[in-house]
Structure 1
């Protein structure tokens, strides 16, 4: 059973081809996904098509995935990380 502390982070590392890695807070990550999804409502992954709002789509994606294909050879990946304080 996974340690519940694994899910106590609110920071994500974001990886995109040709870009340096960036760290985003959970609200910033949600906003980034909403922006991406708003630009591709006509080309959504099947599991997101059941959601009517972009916010719900982004929240579902954030909670259930760690990668989104953008176009052939392009993607965005995100991983929850815990930064030492």
Structure 2
């Protein structure tokens, strides 16, 4: 049985082509991926395109991936992190 703590996160580190890294909340990361999924709908990997609905595609990406190659020379990567106080 997997440890449920493995799926808890406080934030995401976002890396994009030619941009400094950003720290995003889970809601902000979801919104960012929504924009990307809509903008690059035709360039998404086949497994993602087979899923119906933008929100379902975004959730699938968050659950199964940490990187998308968008178009030649452009990428987006994200990593879930837990912040300690």
Could you give the per-residue CA deviations for residues 37-58 of structure 1, whole angstroms, max 9, x where no partner exists? 1012222210112212111111
Give me the TM-score of the superposition, normalised by structure 1.
Answer: 0.88
Q: Report the number of matched residues.
A: 85
SS in 2 for 1:29: helix
Q: Unaligned stretches of 5+ in structure 1? A: none
RMSD over aligned Cα, in angstroms?
A: 1.6
Distance 2:62 2:51 in 1: 14
- Give the equivalent residue in structure 1 for 2:9: 9
Q: Unaligned stretches of 5+ in structure 2? A: none
The question of whether the paired residues in 1 share the 8 Å contact of 2:33 and 2:58 is answered with yes
SS in 2 for 1:71: coil
Distance 1:5 1:81 in 2: 11
Quickly say closer, same or farther: Cα 1:44–1:17, change in 2 above 3 A: closer
SS in 2 for 1:6: helix
Distance 2:43 2:70 in 1: 10
- Give the equivalent residue in structure 2 for 1:71: 71
